[in-house]
Amino acid sequence: MGKSYEHADAAPKTRVSRIRLPTIHDQGTHLPTSKVPLRIPAGRKFSALSLVRKGMTGGDWPLVWRHHELAPTYDVVIVGGGLHGLATAHYLAQNHGIANVAVIEKSYIGSGGSGRNTAIIRSNYLTPEGVAFYNRSVQLFEQLSQDLNFNVMFEQRGHMTLAHSDASLRTMRWRAEVNKVQGIDSQVIDPDEIAKLVPLMDVSANTRYPILGALWHPPGGIARHDAVVWTYARSADAAGVHLHMNTEVTGIEVKGDQVIGVQTSRGDISTPIVINCTAGWSSIISDMAGVKMPIHTRPLQAAVTEPVKAFLDPVIVSGSLHVYVSQTARGELVFGAATDPFASYSTRGSLEFIESLAGHVLQLMPSLAKMRLLRQWAGLCDMTPDFSPIIGPTPVGGFYVDVGWGTYGFKAGPVAGEQTAEAVATGRIPELIKAFQLDRFEKGALTGEKGAAAVGH
């Protein structure tokens, strides 16, 4: 028997790279984000030249998306104008030539989970299905700014998941191995290496929950979440998709077991295909079509501090302390937590959250004691029993879902849009989402994703 897992010293001494190791998708194959390159009309394209010209002349920027009247019929109606809905619309138009699509949003574009998440992107999950799925999303994020002509500020600064117990260190090793098999840069590092990457971190043995090691995932990072929503809105609009804001879906018409239309606050639409891309309200929309979802909705609270100089490079996550921290390009620290301890649709913050969050952050980085919080908010998480999403067809013909995004919806936006569009356009379930079908609960074949950040589980 070799060394047991009882000491952090047992962690293999591996090289800590700040530069991302080459992964499968770097080896000469450029995987385009869409099958047909996006065409933005000349006057609406963003470039350094247009920036200089507008700066000099004070000219107006073109609208990112246009307003349309509600048409009486569409080929596809997407419920929910967030990242998932817009990405689905974009890939339906770009990859499959289906552009007679309406995106129905009850508030403004990106007003739900897309604007409330903590913008973390990574692929170091635990199930092979999850790893492959989220890795495709990382690949899409890497090319998004270039291919869609919109800077989404994706920064691959590395993602660090701290282990405070032998059990979690063991899980980190397990995750690292599952990741490596799929060609993903992921390794377990020891406290000395953590201190090198994050000098402010308290890695001493004198804390309540000493840091024993971490899972280090260099391709992980953050992006500007609103920009990701806007780029998909802009490119979907350029392809001819209609975005209808301030339009609420009030009912879904089903005849026999086939969708025939959608009722909205601005009038009825007849359509053979409805895709539910909502988060938070997904079970309510699904109930309209008579499809019961194994989802319960919980708020997840987040907070942001005042901006300070850049000092924190990677994204820090601690499952045991229920906290994740990253520093935005603007210098604010963004904190996220576990889901609230009871089901609710309320998006109000609570004092208990701020108290426990501050305590946990200070335990990791005591020198932040004098920083002030600017604001806190809550977003809705659709928790599934196995912490994996539900993407694909339902027993009602023409009613597709892309729901069940607990704490992993933002990072999966591009890939979920791409795969949902493929499932809808081809009528076949793509390989990447085979494990995320609704009927897995009937079959008892769950995809238990213990690598999800639904930290409370």
Partner 1 sequence: MLLIECPHCGPRNGTEFTYSGKIQPRPVMKGSDFEARAEWRRYLYEEDNFAGFAKERWFHGNGCRKFLDIERHSVTNEISSVSPAGEAS
Among 135, 297, 301, 339, binds partner 1 (CB under 8 A): 297
* Residue (264 or 301) nearer to partner 1, CB: 301
Q: Minimal distance in Å, beta carbon 220 to partner 1?
A: 31
**CA 360, 364, 368, 371 torsion-angle sign:** negative
Q: Minimal distance in Å, beta carbon 80 to partner 1?
A: 16
Contact pattern from residue 367 through residue 396 relative to partner 1, giving x for each residue in contact according to CB under 8 A and a dash for the rest: ------------------x-----------
Structural Rg of the chain based on CA atoms = 22
* Residue (224 or 298) nearer to partner 1, CB: 298
The region of 116-124, 203-211, 214-222, 281-289 touching partner 1 under the rule CB under 8 A is: 281-289
Question: How many Å apart are CA 104 and CA 172, to the nearest integer?
Answer: 41
Say how many residues touch partner 1, by CB under 8 A. 24
The region of 77-85, 270-278, 284-292, 302-310 touching partner 1 under the rule CB under 8 A is: 284-292
Q: Is residue 294 at the binding interface for partner 1, with CB under 8 A as the rule?
A: yes
Candidates 329, 300, 307; CA nearest to 455 is 300
Question: How many Å apart are CA 421 and CA 12, to the nearest integer?
Answer: 43
Distances (CA, A) of 323 to 16, 108, 232, 303, 337: 23, 29, 29, 11, 5
CA angle 278, 280, 284 (to 5 degrees): 75
> 18: which DSSP letter?
S
Among 52, 343, 374, 445, binds partner 1 (CB under 8 A): 343
Q: Minimal distance in Å, beta carbon 181 to partner 1?
A: 30
Complete DSSP assignment for 61-97: PPPSS---PPPSB-SEEEE--SHHHHHHHHHHHHHH-
Q: Is residue 293 at the binding interface for partner 1, with CB under 8 A as the rule?
A: yes
CB 236 within 8 A of CB 89: yes
Q: Minimal distance in Å, beta carbon 334 to partner 1?
A: 23
Q: Minimal distance in Å, beta carbon 105 to partner 1?
A: 18
Candidates 332, 334, 350, 339; CA nearest to 379 is 339
DSSP-based helix, strand, coil % in the chain, nearest 5: 30, 20, 45
Q: Minimal distance in Å, beta carbon 284 to partner 1?
A: 6
Among 161, 278, 283, 376, binds partner 1 (CB under 8 A): 283
Q: Minimal distance in Å, beta carbon 113 to partner 1?
A: 16
State the CB neighbour count (10 A cutoff) for residue 194: 23
The region of 222-230, 282-290, 328-336, 392-400 touching partner 1 under the rule CB under 8 A is: 282-290
The region of 70-78, 111-119, 292-300, 368-376 touching partner 1 under the rule CB under 8 A is: 292-300
Instruction: Return all residues near 311 (Cβ < 8 A) that are at least 6 apart.
Output: 200, 327
* Residue (114 or 297) nearer to partner 1, CB: 297
Among 96, 296, 322, 450, binds partner 1 (CB under 8 A): 296
Q: Minimal distance in Å, beta carbon 382 to partner 1?
A: 8
Residues 165-204 that bind partner 1 (CB under 8 A): none
Among 44, 307, 441, 450, binds partner 1 (CB under 8 A): 441
Q: Minimal distance in Å, beta carbon 443 to partner 1?
A: 9
Among 9, 192, 287, 431, binds partner 1 (CB under 8 A): 287
Structure-token match 């490119």, residue found: 235
Complete DSSP assignment for 429-450: --GGGGGG-TTHHHHT-----T
Among 284, 368, 371, 429, binds partner 1 (CB under 8 A): 284
CB 203 within 8 A of CB 189: no
Contact pattern from residue 347 through residue 366 relative to partner 1, giving x for each residue in contact according to CB under 8 A and a dash for the rest: -x-xxx--------------
* Residue (190 or 340) nearer to partner 1, CB: 340
Among 83, 289, 295, 338, binds partner 1 (CB under 8 A): 295
Structure-token match 């996550």, residue found: 317
The region of 1-9, 76-84, 412-420, 436-444 touching partner 1 under the rule CB under 8 A is: 436-444
Q: Minimal distance in Å, beta carbon 397 to partner 1?
A: 21
Q: Is residue 344 at the binding interface for partner 1, with CB under 8 A as the rule?
A: yes
Helix 409-426 × helix 83-96 angle, to 10°: 40
Parallel, antiparallel, or unpaired: how do β-strands 187-189 and 120-121 relate? Answer: unpaired
Complete DSSP assignment for 330-389: TSPEEEEEEEPSS--------HHHHHHHHHHHHHH-GGGTT--EEEEEEEEEEE-TTS--
Residues that bind partner 1 (CB under 8 A): 281, 283-284, 287, 292-297, 341-346, 348, 350-352, 385, 441-442, 444
